[in-house]
Homo-oligomer: A and B are copies of this chain.
């Protein structure tokens, strides 16, 4: 007998194998598996991450839900992962520019997407002093790059 998180994971994936996306009620699943509701969050946070190819959205309040969708990982995942490693925890605008250029040259992003990325991380936009701007820039850039890995 595996642990409960694995069982819930398997159950959700089994349902997902039939539909492209599923909508669950956190409390219902928790009841079904006799666990506390927050364990559903644990399962989702550890097993249905974007890195593993899932997109999760939710809404609270009456009629609330958690929606899990399977996304298609693209071919360029390895290149992107390599670039994410290069970003590290801090990166200058110029180095970021190089990485974005690289994505454009490899035809992973369009010119317009590249321009948008640059707009998001330039010095004037971030409007803070240097050591912290580089850290923030790295966070934003990594988030942008991660999102390039999947489709839909």
Contact = CB atoms under 8 A, between A and B. Distances in A.
A131 interface: no
Interface in A1-60: 1-3, 5-6
Contacts of A63: 1-3, 5-6
Given A111-B152, A113-B112, A147 B119 contact: yes
A147 B113 contact: no
A62 B3 contact: yes
A140 B6 CA distance: 33
Given A112-B113, A119-B143, 15 more contacts: A2-B63, A5-B63, A111-B152, A113-B113, A116-B116, A116-B147, A119-B144, A119-B146, A120-B120, A120-B144, A122-B143, A126-B139, A126-B140, A136-B136, A140-B140
Interface of A: 1-3, 5-6, 61-63, 111-113, 115-117, 119-120, 122, 124-127, 136, 139-140, 143-144, 146-148, 151-152
